[in-house]
Chains A and B, each alone.
Chain A
Amino acid sequence: MSFWQLAVQQLINGLQSGSIYALVALGYSMVYGIITLLNFAHGDIIMVGSYLSWFALTSIAPFVPLPVAVVIAIAMAILGCMVLGVTIEFAAYRPLRKSPRISLLITAIGVSYLLQNTAQKFIGASAKMVPYPRIPSVNFAGLTISGVAILCIAVTAACMVGLTLLVKKSKSGKAMRAVSEDADAALLMGVNVNSTISFTFAIGSALAGVGSILFIIAYPQASPFMGGMLGLKAFVAAVLGGIGSIPGAMIGGLLIGVIESLVSAVGLSVWKEGVVFAILIVMLLFKPAGIMGKPTTEKV
C-alpha cells in the first residue's frame, strides 16, 4: 500500500469516528444554545440508546425476521433516547430554570451518574455484544473502504442537512432560534418557551440515538460507562466548532476524528486524547467562540 493510500485510509477512518462525534456534538451544541447548559448526561443517553439496540437485537430478534428486528432496534434506540432526553429535561432541568447555572451543571452530572449506575446495577458491569448485521466493505480505486464508514458519513450528512432545514425553515426551528436568542423576549412574542426547550431536547437526544446506532455498528459493545469519553470528546468537538452552531459542531466533530486517527497513524495513539485537549486549549485561547462561533461582547 502506498503512502497516499494509507493516508486516505486513515482519513476515512477519521471521518467515520468524526461523524459520530459530530452527531453527538450537535446535541451538546443545541442544548447549550438554548439553555446554556453543559449537558453532561448527553453521553449517557448514547449509552442507553446502545442498550436499547442490544435489547431489541437479542430479546426481540428471535421472534421476528432479521430486517424487522433491525428496524425495531433502530426505532427503539431513537425513540427511547428522545423520550429519555425529554424526561430528563422535564424532571431534572426544568425546576432549575431560574437557578444559578452551576446548580444546573451539578444536576446534569447527577443525572449522568444516575444513568451510569442504574445501567450497571440492572444490566451488569460487563460489556454486551450488540449483534447488528455486518456491513460489507467497498473496493474502490485500490482502496478498501469499510461500509461502516460510508454509512456513518452518509447518515451524519443527512442528519445535518435535515437539522439545518428544520432550524432555518420550519416554524419550530424559528421558535428555537428565538428562545436561544432571548427567552424572555420570545415569551412575550407568544413563543411557548417550555415546549420549545422540550422540542430541542427531543431533537438533540434523537440525534444521540442515531449516534448510538452508528457507534454500536462501528464498535459493537455496550457498557455502562461508554458514554463518558465519547461524550467528553463530542463536547470538545462542539466547543471547537463553536458551541451553539450547527455547522460548527459538524466541522468540530470531523476535525477531532481526523486528528485522532492521524495521531494514531503516526504511532502516538496513547497521546491522541492529549492532542485533542491541547488543540481545544489553543483554540479557546485564540478564538474562544470556536471556528464558526460569533464573538460576544459584554455590555455594561
Chain B
Amino acid sequence: MSKKPLHIKTPVRYLINALLFAALLFGGRVLIAGGGVSPFYVGIVTLAGINIILAVSLNMATGYLGQLPLGHAGFMAVGAYASAIFMTRSGLDPAVAMPFGLLIGGLVAAIFGVLIGIPALRLKGDYIAIITLGFGEIIRIVLLNIDEVLGFPFTYGAASLKGIPETSTFFNTFLLVGVTCFAIHTLMKSRHGRAILSIRENEIAADSCGVNLTYYKVMGFTVSAFFAGIAGSLYAGYLGILNPSNFSFMKSIEILVFVVLGGMGSMIGSVLSATVLTILPELLRQFAEWRMIVYALLLILVMVFKPSGLMGRFDFSMGRMLENIINVLTGRKTLKGKGGKTNG
C-alpha cells in the first residue's frame, strides 16, 4: 500500500473523453448508414440529442447560476426562427448554410438573453421565474402575430413556417451535444465558472468577495440562451416546419422538468433525464392515454421522495472512474473511500 495512487493528467483525460466520444459518434453513424436502425428510432434519438442540449443549457442557468427561468422555450423559439428564416431565404445550399444557420440561431438567442437578462436578473427568486415566463409568452405571441404588423410574411404565424431544409441528422446533432457539454463543462471549471457557482451558493457573500453579480448573472444567462438557440436551430432542421405553438409555456416547463428530475447542477443528470424522458414517452405510444398520467405521477413521486433530483449534484467523470478502476486493480487503493466527488 505504499504506492502512490495513479493520477491521470488533465490533457490525457480530455484525450480519452474525446476518443470515446468520437468512437460513439462514428459508431452511431456507421450503424445508421448500414441500415441497422429504423429511421423512426434515429428520429427519436436525434430529438433526445436536441433535448439534451436544451436541458444542459437550462442547467447552466438553474443548476449553476441558481436562478429559475421559466422562459427557456422563448430562447429556443428565437433561435429556431432566426435560423429557419436564414435557411429558407439565403438561397445557399443547405449543407453550406447549416453551420451559419446554427450560429445565427445561437447568436440571436444570445442577444435576446442579454436584452432579457439585464432587466430580469435585477429581480430575485420567484420574480425571475415570473418575468421570464412573461418574456417567453411575449416572444411566442410576437412570432404568431408579427406578420400582420410587418405587412409581409416573415414568420408565417399560425400558418407555420414550412420548407426548412431537414439538416439535423444524428451525427451533427450529437456533435453539437458534445460541443455544448464540453463548452459548459470547461466554462464551469474556469475562474468565471467558480464566480457563477459562488452566486448560487450565496449572492451576498459573493458580492462582498468582489464577484460582479450583474456581469456574471447576465453571462450565465446569455450562455444558457445561446445554447438554447442552437438547440432551437437543430429543432427547426429536425422538424422542417415551425409553428409558434411548439414553443409555449409548456415547452419551458418540459425542459425544466428534465433539469430538476435529473438533479439541478448535475450535467450527467440533465443528459440522462433528457434522454430517458424523450425516449420513454415514445416507447409508451401504445399506451398513449396512460403515458401522460404515468409521467405526471412519476414527477410527483420523484420530487416527494428525492427532492434534489435523481442525481443530486453528482457529476460523472470518465477520467476519475478510470483512475479508480486502475488504482483498485493495481492495488494502489482499496475499494473503500471510492466514489465521485460532487461537482460544486
**Chain B residues whose C-beta falls within 8 Å of the C-beta of A274 in the assembled complex:** 137-138, 141-142, 145
**Chain B residues whose C-beta falls within 8 Å of the C-beta of A113 in the assembled complex:** 292, 295-296, 299
Are B127 and A288 closer than 8 Å at their CB atoms? yes
Are B293 and A118 closer than 8 Å at their CB atoms? yes
B307 interface residue (CB < 8 Å to A) = yes
Are A92 and B127 closer than 8 Å at their CB atoms? no
How many residues of chain B get a CB closer than 8 Å to chain A's CBs?
A: 42
Are A110 and B142 closer than 8 Å at their CB atoms? no
**Chain B residues whose C-beta falls within 8 Å of the C-beta of A107 in the assembled complex:** 299-300, 303-304
Contact residue among B134, B141, B300 (Cβ-Cβ distance under 8 Å from A280) = B134
The SS class assigned to the A binding surface is helix
Are B303 and A280 closer than 8 Å at their CB atoms? no
In the complex, which residues 188-243 of chain A have their Cβ closer than 8 Å to any Cβ of chain B? 228, 232, 235-236, 239
Q: Separation in Å of the B145 CB from the closest CB of chain A?
A: 5
Are B296 and A270 closer than 8 Å at their CB atoms? no
Q: Fill in one digit per residue for B247-288: 1 if any A CB lies within 8 Å of its CB, else 0.
A: 001100100110011001000000000000000000000000
A111 interface residue (CB < 8 Å to B) = yes
Are B304 and A106 closer than 8 Å at their CB atoms? no
Q: Output the nearest chain B residue to A274 by Cβ-Cβ distance.
A: B141
Contact residue among A106, A117, A278, A281 (Cβ-Cβ distance under 8 Å from B260) = A106
Are A102 and B62 closer than 8 Å at their CB atoms? yes
Q: Separation in Å of the A170 CB from the closest CB of chain B?
A: 28
Contact residue among B144, B290, B297 (Cβ-Cβ distance under 8 Å from A270) = B144
Q: Output the nearest chain A residue to B130 by Cβ-Cβ distance.
A: A239
Are A121 and B303 closer than 8 Å at their CB atoms? no
Q: Given that A281-B131, A281-B134 are known contacts, is A300 also in contact with B204, CB under 8 Å in the complex?
A: yes
**Chain B residues whose C-beta falls within 8 Å of the C-beta of A110 in the assembled complex:** 296-297, 299-300, 303
Pairs A–B under 8 Å by Cβ, sample size 21: A101-B125, A106-B256, A106-B257, A106-B260, A107-B304, A113-B296, A113-B299, A114-B296, A114-B300, A117-B292, A118-B293, A228-B250, A232-B249, A236-B134, A270-B141, A270-B144, A271-B145, A273-B137, A280-B134, A281-B119, A284-B127
